[in-house]
Chain A
């Protein structure tokens, strides 16, 4: 497949692997966090870690949109489907996220809720146009990548004068999550999570550009390399990080130059700021309440805000006590450190959110990498 196979070339990968092995200082360890679930997935699916020397370790970060979605928000979506009788539209990964009372959107559907999987926000708008007699709510989740498409449909709904369409907005912001991890005691004071650098987001950065990460490089003295989601991108980024560490640099470098610029997509950014404003705080699964880390719909478009249209209250719900998703999302623990991993918590019966999406650290390790635990 053109423009894809080139980035999965095994011969180039072996060459890069040899260079990384040659340049990595055998006297030290390197721990790099890949922030995005997309990178986690690529690393697991293509077996990238098998090509890395033993002293280069990848730590999975919190950048899986489904994984950081708190139970309380899923409960709201379920309430919309079951109690308010709306057509609830959402991306496929959200359907299996475990919520309160043993429910998930998939299970709510089996109980008669009209829950529909969509591939894009535009599909949800179309469903609203096709069902004028029904209230249609788009359960909007994700980082900066999925926010502009949500903004577009709200604008379109306003232009069309659709009064049966609204959005349950759960969009979150990447830089806030990275700050939260870097500020956490495990990283900053205790040093229990050694982090020598970050592989920065791919698709998110196409929208926000790489300028927002310059603060982290400077303030926390951590190198950041923006990388694409193909396995060769990841390998190349790891080599760039190893070089920065070796040379004592902490800069933002852009491996994903074929898609990311310093300023990003200004049109998308303007659209997002026209439609959304910052929430004072937002609960993240695993990270807890993070100030100014999520978006809500601006007052001018509030008639499309499902939280205002329907009587919905947010209730924070704690994770299962034994679930380590929180620690795993912060890089403090690995999936195999959790007692529930692979026993009561599996992709078929996820207890924690990291086991739901294929981008989640637990699901990726379970699905692709658990032969390593058996060895």
Chain B
């Protein structure tokens, strides 16, 4: 009699195994990868439906917000996070800065043949943990495998859906002269954490990415009932680029005060060393709020009371300016433009 157990399927070798083409072929190997890795970690009632798409209850009232974000960060693991949690935080933040309560996520994985399953498992675990902490389940997903050399380990695209309550209407075109500009904390941490990991640089710095989901902070800000015109998370292109986007969209100018913008000492030093400007370095857990001046103190207090806004600060004001210049009073006492980012300061940051 055979000693092989009935219905036994050899489990995925998550220690030494590697992604191969069969994991994306649609056959048993793919089903196994989905079941033993994605299904196990992301587990929720919608994913368990096991269909081609998730069937979700219709939210009552409000408007739907949808956003998607591709993640190609290199290296995949960095101090403070990895591509997994980053792909959850990034999309939740894009939905949340619209004023929405994020509800669901979808995730698409492009895997490169040969990618260690152990690394994939770490990434999926981190992603699942981030989704759980945020209270936003991954309800559907997709996996594709491409030949070795046609990708860089793993790329993850996430899509988020959220609902904006009635009465909340945040938009980049609502900034008005006289409004104030609030920033939730220090800038440049994510970008420089990645930079310090790049092997070609040969320097190390104790910088930790700020990757975090901001919807809790945003909910606290909205709960003040203040007139918040617009929220944005300054990711690629940094604070400078985000402010220029808002200035253009709203047809206004801005004046910043350099000395009020928080920058961690390690980040400032690393930027100095590499000739980078922290204003252009990516963040993954910070937000900018344009707020009616009368409500600034109220919002700032709410931000500072939240764990992700402890160092929130007012960094400038909105001006009438037909040129839509974002300008800054330098700590030195002069004045300069804070322009759009030109070229790429640092590739593959998120």
Chain A contact residues, CB within 8 Å of chain B: 1, 4, 8-10, 13-14, 17, 44-51, 95-96, 118-119, 123, 231, 347-348, 363, 366-371, 374
Residues of A within 8 A of B336 (CB): 44-47, 368-369
Inter-subunit contact B339/A1 (CB<8 Å):
no
Residues of A within 8 A of B274 (CB): 119
Inter-subunit contact B200/A119 (CB<8 Å):
yes
CA distance A4 to B329 in the complex (A): 19
CA distance A22 to B81 in the complex (A): 55
Residues of B within 8 A of A371 (CB): 323, 325, 327, 335, 337
Inter-subunit contact A10/B201 (CB<8 Å):
no
- 8 Å CB interface, B186-213 against A: 200-201
Which residue from B200, B269, B335, B337 sits with its C-beta under 8 Å from A367? Answer: B337
- 8 Å CB interface, B210-265 against A: 259, 265
Inter-subunit contact B333/A10 (CB<8 Å):
yes
Q: A1-B272, A347-B343, A371-B327 are in contact. Are A51 and B334 (CB under 8 A)?
A: yes
CA distance A374 to B253 in the complex (A): 13
Residues of A within 8 A of B331 (CB): 8, 10
Looking across the interface, which residue of chain B has its beta carbon closest to that of A9? B332
* B331, B333, B339 — most chain A CB neighbours (10 Å): B333
Inter-subunit contact A368/B337 (CB<8 Å):
yes
Chain B interface extent, by class? 20 to 34
Residues of A within 8 A of B259 (CB): 10
* A1, A14, A17 — most chain B CB neighbours (10 Å): A1
Interface string of B315-333 (1 = CB under 8 A from A): 0000000010101011111
Residues of A within 8 A of B342 (CB): 347-348, 363, 367
Q: A96-B343, A123-B200, A371-B327 are in contact. Are A14 and B265 (CB under 8 A)?
A: no
Inter-subunit contact A367/B339 (CB<8 Å):
yes
Question: How far is the CB of A109 from the nearest CB of chain B, in Å?
Answer: 11
CA distance A367 to B337 in the complex (A): 6
* B274, B327, B329, B342 — most chain A CB neighbours (10 Å): B342
Inter-subunit contact A1/B334 (CB<8 Å):
no
CA distance A370 to B331 in the complex (A): 19
Inter-subunit contact B272/A4 (CB<8 Å):
yes
* A45, A51, A368 — most chain B CB neighbours (10 Å): A368
CA distance A349 to B44 in the complex (A): 49
22 residue pairs A–B, Cβ–Cβ below 8 Å: A4-B272, A10-B259, A10-B331, A10-B333, A44-B336, A45-B336, A46-B330, A47-B333, A47-B336, A48-B334, A50-B333, A50-B334, A119-B201, A347-B342, A347-B343, A363-B342, A368-B336, A368-B339, A369-B336, A371-B335, A374-B323, A374-B325
Residues of B within 8 A of A49 (CB): 334
**13 new A-B pairs (CB below 8 Å) besides A367-B339, A370-B337?**
A8-B331, A10-B330, A13-B333, A46-B336, A47-B329, A48-B334, A50-B333, A95-B343, A119-B274, A366-B339, A367-B337, A368-B339, A371-B335
Residues of A within 8 A of B333 (CB): 10, 13-14, 17, 47, 50-51
Residues of B within 8 A of A363 (CB): 342
Looking across the interface, which residue of chain B has its beta carbon closest to that of A347? B342
CA distance A123 to B202 in the complex (A): 9
Question: How far is the CB of B144 from the nearest CB of chain A, in Å?
Answer: 25
Question: How far is the CB of A360 from the nearest CB of chain B, in Å?
Answer: 12
CA distance A44 to B334 in the complex (A): 9
CA distance A307 to B110 in the complex (A): 43
Q: Is B293 an interface residue (CB 8 A)?
A: no
Question: How far is the CB of A274 from the nearest CB of chain B, in Å?
Answer: 26
Q: Is B268 an interface residue (CB 8 A)?
A: yes
Looking across the interface, which residue of chain A has its beta carbon closest to that of B201? A119
Inter-subunit contact B334/A47 (CB<8 Å):
yes
Question: How far is the CB of A20 from the nearest CB of chain B, in Å?
Answer: 13
Question: How far is the CB of B149 from the nearest CB of chain A, in Å?
Answer: 15
Question: How far is the CB of A91 from the nearest CB of chain B, in Å?
Answer: 10
Question: How far is the CB of A143 from the nearest CB of chain B, in Å?
Answer: 16
CA distance A118 to B335 in the complex (A): 32
Question: How far is the CB of A11 from the nearest CB of chain B, in Å?
Answer: 8
Looking across the interface, which residue of chain B has its beta carbon closest to that of A52? B334
Residues of A within 8 A of B200 (CB): 118-119, 123
CA distance A348 to B241 in the complex (A): 14
Looking across the interface, which residue of chain A has its beta carbon closest to that of B328? A47
- 8 Å CB interface, B291-350 against A: 323, 325, 327, 329-337, 339, 342-343
* B259, B274, B335 — most chain A CB neighbours (10 Å): B335
* B268, B327, B343 — most chain A CB neighbours (10 Å): B343
Looking across the interface, which residue of chain B has its beta carbon closest to that of A120? B202
CA distance A17 to B332 in the complex (A): 11
* B323, B329, B334, B339 — most chain A CB neighbours (10 Å): B334
Residues of A within 8 A of B268 (CB): 1
Question: How far is the CB of B337 from the nearest CB of chain A, in Å?
Answer: 5
CA distance A118 to B274 in the complex (A): 12
Residues of B within 8 A of A47 (CB): 329-330, 332-336
CA distance A369 to B339 in the complex (A): 10
Which residue from A46, A348, A367 sits with its C-beta under 8 Å from B332? Answer: A46
